[in-house]
């Protein structure tokens, strides 16, 4: 007999622990909870959210902490709570089902399931009382339970239809390799919806959408399309000066609720800031700007200061997120009044208020969200503003901080490690590269399974979720970024091992890969399989990039064959390619990447200068190899034999290498265009 109690107290996820004292008899996701529903012949009420989710907190306070609502939930349902960051595979299944029902997605995700996990109805946030044309949560609970009890026709039809939809969505649908025409068509469709004045994509809310802009950026090097470069620069500039950026503590919030980047949804996610750091580094390499350099330094400062997770054996990775709420209010930690600023800054206050939009009425609900209104001034002006920011930062540190989700997610850390490796070179910060390697070593040491897989989530020294394709792919790309930045051959070995692990445990048999491993026992319906990017890049797209880079680094055709098979695996429906910018960027990397071979003694300053220039390329489709001796590269590599002698750089593309270049400035010019 199942225990009539909330069973979340034994979990390690901060989000699940936020609900451990609810009067709801929550169960964690798993076969035991579904078996309980089957034995009791009750439907399942599945609630999915994450620790930094504002509306998840709202629904928890309004409904899950309410005894009357909890009594209704406990009587009519078996209630399961899922942390979407810990189990993105489960979230993907049920979010896909919600979309199939014609509903807009979001969190909290509220889905109703049969005891075997089949969805039949759902939504997102439900209010405690009827409002905004939506029924109350208690009305929903009673209506759904009655429909299930009477075997109502919509329940039967929806269950069957959604099962077919999820099965079909995960089914392989291979086609031909994407072509340059496909890449151009997708780029053009994105450029049509960019905001020419405010940056990003048009409208509100405004998300940074890093996978889209990274694709536009890379594709512009192939086509020379200046509009794509301009769109990316404009987005970074507007975001970096807007309220979505934390001008005191660094880092970007998840999105802006308006069209002008002013009012953020204040939560900060590791994955957003990792991807934006990567874009800042490429943009700075393309067009050096003190704004990019400052934002990169501040964002990395936030990662190291506020997002360093638990330390084990002297190493630490990065935590997942910071909450939007503190003291029960969204944004309370971050906003200011004019009186507070005046009291803290004294004579320096007028200049600061002009620069950061501080007014008597405020710019949001009577308070001020700091945003930079004036361009950079003289060194003296900037030093004064920096001193004012430091004073406000120290005062803010005395406030009650938002909650932090300190679990370590391997895939998000992979994004952060790769971004730090690039930024360390571009901004000449070797300490960032050291920190990236530390996080990488932490993941390998504490989150590796005996079979070679990387687990997904860890907290308090405890693994809480098995490895997904995302973890293998992101950590493989991180390994390659470290290999190119440091020359360490063991990092290349790690990348090859993880690519082989993906093939062994996640392959769909048609060139593509499932999100979950073949031996996963708690995934209902069909194993998820997607190449569509979201706020994070899709694992299939990341892995395609890894395979393409392995081909260019090793010259081994097996990697090209596997990369081509993966690219074909998702091209059966050409209309869907616009949702896969990461996969399309990997297509470009496979076909068009420049392999830069640096010869000569690595200790020679001339070789180091060429190496730094190559690694600082603004084009992401550049692969860098060191060849200090003539036999440094494999015999079947197109650049085999190039090595030794005086320091030089060879630019190789499509298996053909150009003449040696000894001047870093000449090499830099060659890398700005194709």
CB 46 within 8 A of CB 80: yes
Phi (first) and psi of residue 49, to 5 degrees: -160, -160
Q: Give the closest residue to 141 by CA, choosing from 79, 228, 212.
A: 79
CB 4 within 8 A of CB 36: no
Confidence at 417, pLDDT banded by 50, 70, 90: very high
CA 562/CA 501 separation, integer angstroms: 13
Residue 144 exposure: Cα atoms within 13 Å on the Cβ side: 29
Would you state the pLDDT for residue 1?
47
CB 27 within 8 A of CB 33: yes
CATH 3.40.30.10 corresponds to the domain 8-170: yes
* SS3 at position 596: strand
CA 331/CA 336 separation, integer angstroms: 10
Would you state the pLDDT for residue 2?
64
Question: How do beta strands 109-113 and 44-49 pair?
Answer: antiparallel
pLDDT (tens digit per residue) in 165-187: 888 888 888 999 999 999 999 99
Instruction: Find the mean pLDDT for residues 209-221.
Output: 98
CB 593 within 8 A of CB 654: no
**CATH class of the domain whose range is 594-672:** alpha beta
pLDDT (tens digit per residue) in 603-635: 999 999 999 999 999 999 999 999 888 778 887
pLDDT (tens digit per residue) in 6-65: 999 999 999 999 999 999 999 999 999 999 999 999 999 999 999 999 899 999 999 999
pLDDT (tens digit per residue) in 320-374: 999 998 888 899 999 999 999 999 999 999 999 999 999 999 999 999 999 999 9
Instruction: Find the mean pLDDT for residues 500-514.
Output: 97
Q: Give the closest residue to 406 by CA, choosing from 28, 10, 56, 52.
A: 52
Global pTM reads 0.96
* SS3 at position 536: coil
Would you state the pLDDT for residue 276?
98
Where does residue 535 rank: exposed (0-12), middle (13-18), buried (19+ CB within 10 A)?
Answer: middle
- Domain 180-324+404-592 matches domain 594-672 at the CATH topology level: no
Average pLDDT in the chain: 95
What is the sign of the dihedral through the CA atoms of 252, 257, 261 and 264? Answer: negative
CA 79/CA 71 separation, integer angstroms: 11
pLDDT (tens digit per residue) in 290-316: 999 999 999 999 999 999 998 888 899
Would you state the pLDDT for residue 153?
78
Cβ neighbours of residue 566 under 8 Å, at least 6 residues apart? 511, 512, 513, 540, 543, 544, 547, 586
Q: Give the closest residue to 27 by CA, choosing from 67, 89, 81, 84.
A: 81
Percent of the chain with pLDDT over 70: 100
132: its two tokens: 């905004």
CB 547 within 8 A of CB 562: yes
CA 53/CA 264 separation, integer angstroms: 13
- Boundaries of every domain in the chain: 8-170, 180-324+404-592, 334-396, 594-672
Q: Give the closest residue to 83 by CA, choosing from 108, 63, 65.
A: 108
CATH architecture label of 180-324+404-592: Alpha/alpha barrel (1.50)
pLDDT (tens digit per residue) in 633-659: 887 787 777 777 789 999 999 988 899
């Amino acid at each position: 007999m199942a225990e009539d109690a909330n069973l979340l107290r034994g979990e390690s996820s901060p989000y699940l622990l936020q609900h451990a004292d609810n009067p709801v008899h929550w169960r964690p996701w798993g076969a035991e909870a579904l078996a309980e529903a089957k034995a009791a012949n009750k439907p399942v009420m599945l609630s999915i959210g994450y620790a930094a989710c504002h509306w998840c907190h709202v629904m928890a306070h309004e409904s899950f902490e309410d005894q009357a609502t909890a009594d209704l939930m406990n009587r009519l349902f078996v209630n399961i709570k899922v942390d979407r960051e810990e189990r993105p595979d489960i979230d993907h299944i049920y979010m896909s089902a919600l979309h199939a029902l014609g509903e807009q997605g979001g969190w909290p995700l509220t889905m109703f399931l049969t005891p075997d996990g089949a969805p039949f109805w759902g939504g997102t946030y439900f209010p405690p009382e009827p409002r905004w044309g939506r029924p109350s949560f208690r009305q929903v609970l009673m209506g759904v339970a009655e429909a299930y009890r009477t075997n109502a026709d919509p329940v039967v039809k929806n269950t069957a239809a959604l099962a077919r939809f999820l099965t079909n969505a995960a089914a392989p649908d291979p086609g031909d390799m994407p072509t340059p025409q496909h890449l151009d068509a997708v780029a053009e469709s994105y450029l049509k919806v960019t905001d020419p004045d405010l940056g990003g994509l048009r409208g509100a809310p405004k998300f940074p959408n890093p996978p889209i802009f990274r694709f536009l950026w890379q594709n512009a090097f192939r086509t020379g399309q200046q509009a794509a470069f301009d769109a990316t620069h404009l987005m970074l500039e507007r975001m970096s000066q807007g309220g979505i950026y934390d001008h005191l503590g660094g880092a970007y919030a998840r999105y802006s609720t308006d069209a002008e980047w002013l009012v953020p949804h204040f939560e900060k996610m590791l994955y957003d800031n990792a991807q934006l750091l990567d874009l800042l580094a490429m943009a700075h390499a393309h067009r050096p700007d003190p704004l990019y350099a400052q934002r990169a330094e501040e964002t990395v400062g936030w990662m190291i200061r506020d997002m360093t997770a638990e330390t084990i054996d002297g190493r630490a990775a990065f935590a997942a997120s910071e909450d939007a709420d503190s003291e029960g209010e969204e944004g309370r930690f971050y906003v200011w009044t004019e009186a507070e600023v005046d009291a803290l800054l004294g004579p320096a206050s007028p200049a600061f208020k002009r620069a950061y939009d501080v007014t008597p009425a405020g710019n949001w609900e009577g308070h001020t969200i700091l945003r930079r209104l004036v361009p950079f001034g003289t060194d003296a002006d900037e030093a004064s503003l920096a001193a004012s920011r430091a004073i406000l930062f120290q005062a803010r540190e005395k406030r009650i901080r938002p909650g932090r989700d300190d679990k370590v997610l391997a895939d998000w850390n992979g994004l952060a490690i790769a971004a730090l490796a690039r930024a360390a070179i571009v901004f000449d910060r070797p300490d960032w590269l050291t920190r990236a390697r530390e996080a990488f070593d932490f993941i390998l040491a504490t989150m590796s399974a005996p079979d070679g897989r990387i687990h997904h989530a860890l907290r308090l020294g405890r693994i809480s979720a098995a490895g997904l394709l995302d973890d293998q792919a992101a950590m493989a790309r991180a390994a390659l970024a470290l290999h190119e930045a440091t020359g360490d051959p063991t990092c290349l070995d790690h990348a090859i091992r993880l690519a082989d692990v993906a093939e062994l445990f996640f392959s769909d048999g048609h060139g593509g890969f499932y999100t979950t491993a073949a031996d996963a026992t708690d995934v209902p319906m069909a194993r998820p399989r997607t190449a569509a990017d979201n706020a994070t890049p899709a694992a299939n797209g990341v892995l395609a990039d890894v395979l393409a880079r392995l081909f260019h680094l090793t010259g081994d055709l097996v990697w090209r064959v596997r990369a081509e098979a993966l690219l074909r695996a998702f091209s059966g429906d050409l209309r869907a390619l616009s949702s896969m910018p990461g996969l399309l960027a990997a297509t470009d990397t496979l076909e068009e990447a420049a392999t830069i071979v640096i010869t000569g003694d690595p200790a020679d300053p001339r070789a180091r200068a060429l190496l730094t220039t190559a690694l600082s390329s603004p084009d992401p489709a550049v692969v860098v190899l060191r060849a200090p001796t003539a036999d440094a590269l494999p015999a079947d590599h197109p650049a085999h034999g190039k090595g030794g002698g005086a320091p030089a750089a060879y630019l190789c593309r499509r298996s053909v290498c150009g003449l040696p270049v000894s001047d870093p400035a000449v090499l830099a010019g060659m890398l700005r265009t194709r």
